[in-house]
Amino acid sequence: MNAKQADKVATIVLYVIAGSVILILAALLGYILIQGVPHLSWHFLTAPATAFTAGGGIGVQLFNSFYLLFITMLISFPIALGAGIYLNEYANQKSRLTGLVRTAIEILSSLPSVVVGLFGFLLFVVQFKLGFSILSGAIALTFFNLPLLTRSVEESLRTIPNLQREAGAALGLSRWETVVHIILPAALPSIVTGIVLSAGRVFGEAAALIYTAGQSAPALNFADWNPFNVSSPLNIMRPAETLAVHIWKINSEGIMPDAAAVSAGASAVLIIAVLLFNFLARYLSNSLYKRLTATK
Amino acid sequence: MDEIRESLLKESKAARRDKFGRAISFSALLLIVVVVVSIFYFVASKGLATFFVNKVNIWDFLTGTKWAPGQVDAHGKAFVGAAPMITGSFLVTFLSALIATPFAIGTAVFMTEISPKRGAKILGPVTELLVGIPSVVYGFIGVSVLVPFMRATFGGSGFGILSGSMVLFVMILPTVTSMTVDTLKAVPRHYRESALALGATRWQMIYKVILRGATPGILTAVVFGMARAFGEALAVQMVVGNAALMPQNLTSPAATLTSVLTQGIGNTVMGSLENNALWSLALILLLMSLVFNTVIRAIAKKGAM
Amino acid sequence: MTENQNVSFHLYDEQPKRFIYEMRPEKEIAISTHDMQVYYGDKLALDDADLSFERFKITSLIGASGSGKSTFLRSLNRMNDDVATVKGQIMYRGLDINFKDIDVYEMRRHIGMVFQRPNPFAKSIRENITFALKQHGITDKAYLDEMVEHSLRQAALWDEVKDSLDASALSLSGGQAQRLVIARAIAMKPDILLLDEPASALDPISSAKIEDTLLELKKHYTIIIVTHNMQQAARISDYTAFFHMGRVLEYNETRKIFTRPKVQLTIDYVNGNFG
C-alpha cells in the first residue's frame, strides 16, 4: 500500500470513527429524551414519589436537588472565592508551599466522589451527629465542588490584566481593596460562568450524596416555610434524596412497576437541567460582559 | 509639623483592610488544605484499622479471593480477600480506556484535522455537553439498554465486567476526546504546514507529526479518563452485577471497589471488621487516585522537557 | 573623588565610573535617592543611583530599554515591592520610604503613578475618579463632584466627557483614557507624580495634549517622567537624567543635556546614534 492509498484508508477510518461516536452520543441523548420527555407532565414534576405503585412523581426530589444545590453553593462559593483570591493575589507564586497547596487542591479534585461522600458520612453524619441531612450532603458536595470552583475563580482573576492591580496600587489602595472593588467586578462574567458550570456538576452528583443527604425523601409540606419544622422544605436537618440519587435508587432496588418510566423521565429532567445550566452560563457571561463595557 | 510625614508613619485604613482580607482569604485556602488532610487522615485511620486492629494480613487482603467479612474460616480468620474487587476495578478501567482511546483520538483528529468546521459546530458542543451528563444517567441507560442487549447476545444475566466497561467507555469518551482535542489544537500550525510542504500526505502528517507531538497530552487525557473510570461508583454499580467473586469471564456478574463500597457501607456497623474492611477498600481507591495523579504529573514533566 | 560644591549640582570624579549628583542646597527637594541599588533576585538592575528631584519641576528619565530608568521610577513609590529588592535610601519628607514603619498605601497616595498603557477601571468615568477617594474615606458628594470636574479640567479632558460622565471608561479612546488616568491620579492631590512613558502608546495629537497637560500640572506637582521620546524630554522637562546599563551616566538641566552633554554616550543617545 503506498502513501496515497494509506491516506485514503485512514481518512475513511477516521470518518467511520467520528461517525460512530456521533451515532453513540446521538443515540444516548435521543434515547433519554424520547423515553423520558413523553413522561414529563406537571403531575410528574410536582407529585411525590411512590414506593410500590405506579404513577409517582419526582416533585420532592426535584425540590431537594435545587435546594441542596443552593445550600452547597452558599457554603462553597465564599470559600472558593477566598481561596482563589489568596492563590492568585497574595500567594508567592514561586514558593514551594504554594505549589504544595495547589497539588493538594488538585488531589481533592481527582478523588472519587464516593470517597468524598464516605468521608462526609464518617465525619458529619456519624461523628458530628448531623445525620442524613441536607446539611451533611451540602458539606460533602462542597468538598467535591471546592477544587473546581477555586480553580475557576483563580483563573478568572488571572485573566484580569496586572495593569488594573497597578492602577489600584498607584492610587494608594491596598491589594484587598483593589481586588474587591476592581478585579472582582471585572472578573465577574467568567466567575459566574464557572459557578453555573459547577452547579451543573453538583446537580447531577449522586455518589457523594447517598450516605450524606440520604436515600429517603420524606413528604414535605410546601405550605410550611419555617425552616425549623420537620416537614418544612427549608429544613436543612432533614434527609433529602435528590433526583440523581433517586434514579440510582429505583434502578438498583426500585420495586414500583413503572420504575423504568420514572427513571427515564427523571433522567430527561436531569439532562435538560444540565443543558439549561450550560446555556445559562453562556448567556450570563455574555450579558454581564456587555453590561460591564456598556456606554449607557 | 509635616502632616504628610506624620500620616506616613500611621497605619492607614487601606493597610488594616488588607490585613483583614489577607487573613480571610488565607483562612479559606487553609480550610481546603485541612479538608484534604483530614480526608486522608480519616480514611487512612479507618482503612488501616483492618490491619492493625483486626490483625488481617495485608497480603491476604490484597490477594485473597473470598470476600465475606462476616464469616470466618477454619482458623477463625475472616474472609476479607479484596482481590475480586481490585481485579474488577482494574479490568473495567483498562477495558474502558482501551476502547475509548482509539475512538477519542479518531474523533479528535477528525475534529481538528479532517473537518474542523463540522468539528467546531457539532462535535465540539456535543462532547462538551456530554461531559456534563450525570453518571447515574449513564448507569440508567446501561441498565435499560446495555444489560438486556448483553443478556441477549452472551446469555447469562447481562450484568458483568463487559457491561461496566461499556458504560464507562461512553462515560469517559467525551472527557478524553475533548482533552485530546485541546492537545491537538496546541500543536503549532507550522508543524502541519512544513510537513505538507515536504510532500507528506495528510495521514502521514497526522500520524508522524501531529500525533507524535501530542503524545504526552493524549496520554494525560487517557490517564485522566482512567482515573475517572476507576473512581466512578454508581454507574458501574448499576450494571456490574455486584457479586464479589473473582470474575470468571467478562459477562459474569462481578464487583468493583466502588460498587462494594456503595452497597456495603450502610449495611455494616461502624468499627466492626466488616466495616473496617470496606474502609480499606476506600483507602485503596484513595491511593489509586494519588497514583493516577502522580502519573499525570510525571507525563506533564516529561512532556515539558 | 573631587567634590566641588560650587558646581551647581553636577559633581563627578575624573574616572567616570561613579557619579555623585546633588542638588544645590537652596533648591527645594521633593524626593531624593542615595546609593540606591535595585536587584531582581540576584541580578543587579540599577546601581549607584543618587538623584534629587526639585519641587514643581519636570524631570525626564531617558535611556535605552533595559537601562534601568523604569526600574528606578517604579522604586520611587515601591511599585516593585513584589519583584525587586531596593538597597540604599529613597528619602521623602525626611523619611526613607522603604523604612518598615512607612505605610506604603499612604505613601502611594502622595506619590502617584501613571503607566505606559492606559488602565482605566471598568467603571464609569466619574467613578474612575471618585472610587479611590471614597475608599480613602472621602464621602462629601459636593467635594467629590468638584474633584471630578477639577481633575478632568486639569487633565484637559473635561470638555470631551462632561456630558458622559456616567459612561463606561472603557468606551474612551486611548488618548482620552490616558488623560482620564492622569486625572484620576491628580484627584488624589499627590505631592509627586511619576509617569512611565505615558504617551508612548498614543498618537501624536493625544501625545501633544498630554504634554500640554503636564506643563500645566507642574505648577502644582513635582513630575518625574520616563520617556523614550527625546523631543518630548527636550520640550517639557527642566532636568534630564540619562540612564545607561543600570547606571545614571549624566544628570543635568535639560538644555545642557541636549546642547553640551558631558559624556559621549549621552551625545550619541540624544542624537539617535545609539547601538
| Residues B42 and B101 grouped into a single domain | no
Q: Searching chain A, which residue's CA lies closest to the CA of residue C130? A: A171
Whether the CB of C189 is below 8 Å from some CB of chain A: the reply is no
Residue recorded with cell 481527582: A110
Domain hosting C230: range is: 3-270
Task: Tell whether C22 is covered by a domain.
Answer: yes
Angle of CA points A44, A233, A142, to nearest 5°? 100
**Which of B113, B130, B137 to probe by mutation at the A interface, max A CB count within 10 Å?**
B137
Among the ranges given (A125-129, B239-243, C128-132, C163-167), the one the predictor scored with the smallest mean pLDDT: B239-243
- SS3 state at C37: strand
Whether B139 and B237 have beta carbons less than 8 Å apart is answered as yes
Same domain, B33 and B87: no
Whether chain C has a CB inside 8 Å of the CB on A292: the answer is: yes
Task: Spell out the long-range contacts of B199-206 with Cβ–Cβ below 8 A and sequence spacing 24 or more.
Answer: B200/A3, B201/A3, B201/A4, B201/A6, B201/A7, B202/A7, B202/A11, B202/B113, B202/B114, B203/A3, B203/A6, B203/A7, B203/A10, B203/A11, B204/A3, B204/A6, B204/A7, B206/A10, B206/B109, B206/B113
- Full domain range(s) for residue B7: 2-47
Distance from CA of B220 to the nearest CA of C (A): 34
* Inside any domain, residue B78: no
Residue C214 lies in a domain: yes
User: Is A9 inside any structural domain?
Assistant: no
CB nearest A251 (choices: B33, B122, B143) = B143
Residue A113 to residue B201, Cβ atoms within 8 A: no
| A-chain residue closest to B108, CA distance | A18
Per-residue pLDDT tens for B265-296?
A: 877 888 888 888 899 999 999 999 999 999 99
CATH number at residue A119: 1.10.3720.10
Cell numbers that stand for B255 in this block: 464487583
Give the nearest partner residue to A172 out of C108, C120, C171, using CB atoms. Answer: C108
Mark whether B296 and B173 lie in a shared domain. yes
Q: Tell me the C-alpha distance between A176 and B14, whole Å.
A: 8
Query: What subunits touch chain B, counting only 3 or more CB pairs under 8 A?
Result: A, C
Contact B9, C102 (CB under 8 A): yes
Q: Domain count of chain A?
A: 1
Q: Are residues B30 and B120 in the same domain?
A: no
Q: Taking CB atoms and an 8 Å limit, are C115 and A163 in contact across chains? A: yes
Contacting residues of B for C92, CB less than 8 Å apart: 8
Contact A166 C79 (CB under 8 A): yes
Q: Quick check: is C229 in a domain?
A: yes
pLDDT in tens, chain A (296 residues): 688 888 899 889 999 998 898 888 888 888 988 988 888 888 888 888 877 777 778 889 999 999 999 999 999 999 999 999 999 999 988 899 999 999 999 999 999 999 999 999 999 998 899 999 999 999 999 999 999 999 999 999 999 999 999 999 999 999 999 999 999 999 998 999 899 889 989 999 999 999 999 888 888 888 888 888 888 888 889 999 999 999 998 887 766 778 888 888 999 999 999 888 888 888 888 888 777 666 44
Instruction: Establish if A81 belongs to a structural domain.
Output: yes
Q: Assess whether B102 and B233 both reside in one domain.
A: yes
Nearest CA in chain C to B9: C102
Confidence of residue B305 (pLDDT cuts 50, 70, 90): low
Are C95 and B8 inside 8 Å of each other by CB? yes
- Cα gap C189→C181, rounded to integer Å: 13
- C55 in contact with B at a CB cutoff of 8 Å? no
Torsion angles phi and psi, residue B280, rounded to 5: -65, -40
Inter-chain touch A108–B32, beta carbons under 8 Å = yes
Question: How would you write chain B as a 3-class SS string?
Answer: CCHHHHHHCCCCHHHHHHHHHHHHHHHHHHHHHHHHHHHHHHHHHHHHHHHHCCCCCHHHHHHCCCEEEEEECCCCCEEECCHHHHHHHHHHHHHHHHHHHHHHHHHHHHHHHHCHHHHHHHHHHHHHHHHCCCHHHHHHHHHHHHHHHHHHHHCCCCCCHHHHHHHHHHHHHHHHHHHHHHHHHHCCHHHHHHHHHCCCCHHHHHHHHHHHHHHHHHHHHHHHHHHHHHHCCHHHHHHHECCCCCCCCCCCCECCHHHHHHHHHHHCCCCCHHHHHHHHHHHHHHHHHHHHHHHHHHHHHHHHC
Give me the domain span that covers residue A252: 40-293
> Considering the entire predicted model, what is its pTM?
0.89
| ipTM, 2 dp | 0.90
Nearest Cα residue in chain A from B19: A176
Task: Identify which of A111, A245, A267 has the shortest CB distance to residue B289.
Answer: A111
Q: Number of structural domains, chain B?
A: 2
A293: nearest CB among C112, C115, C170: C170
Nearest Cβ partner for C168 among A167, A174, A296: A296
The CATH number given to whatever domain includes residue C170 is 3.40.50.300
A94, part of any domain: yes
**Coil/strand/helix, residue A274:** helix
Residue A25 lies in a domain: no
Mutate to test the interface with C, among B3, B7, B8, B22 (most CBs of C within 10 A): B8
CB of B10 less than 8 A from some CB of C: yes
Which residues of B fall within a CB distance of 8 Å from A179?
Answer: 21
Q: With bands split at pLDDT 50, 70 and 90, how would you rate the model's confidence at C81?
A: confident
The number of folded domains in chain C is 1
